[in-house]
Amino acid sequence: CNINMTTKRKPIIGISGSLLVDSGGVFPGYQRAYVNNDYIQSVAMCKGVPYIVPIIEEDELIKEQVANIDGLILSGGHDINPLLWSEEPHYKLGEILSERDTYDFKLFEFALEMKKPILGICRGEQLINVAEGGSLYQDLSLMEGSYIKHNQQDVPSMPTHTVEIKEGTKLHGILGEKTVLTNSFHHIGVNKLAKGYIVSATSKDGVVEAIEKEGEDFVIGVQWHPEMMTKSYDKMQNIFKALIEEASKKIYR
Cα separation, 144 vs 162, whole angstroms: 19
Cα separation, 241 vs 253, whole angstroms: 19
End-to-end Cα distance, the chain? 24
Buried b / exposed e over 52-64, threshold 16 CB at 10 Å, is ebebbeeeeebbe
Of 150, 161, 186, 225, which residue is the catalytic one?
A: 225
Return the H-helix or E-strand segment holding 38: helix 37-45
Of 125, 132, 212, 227, which residue is the catalytic one?
A: 227
Of 122, 132, 209, 246, which residue is the catalytic one?
A: 122
Cα separation, 50 vs 17, whole angstroms: 12
Residue 225 known to be catalytic: yes
Cα separation, 187 vs 91, whole angstroms: 13
122 φψ region: left (φ > 0), alpha (ψ -120 to 50), beta (else): left
Residue 78 known to be catalytic: no
List alpha helices for 46-201, DSSP H: 59-67, 98-113, 123-131, 170-175
Cα separation, 220 vs 120, whole angstroms: 6
Return the H-helix or E-strand segment holding 165: strand 161-165
CB 240 within 8 A of CB 226: yes
Residue 220 pairs in a beta bridge with 119, 212
User: What are the catalytic residues?
Assistant: 122, 225, 227
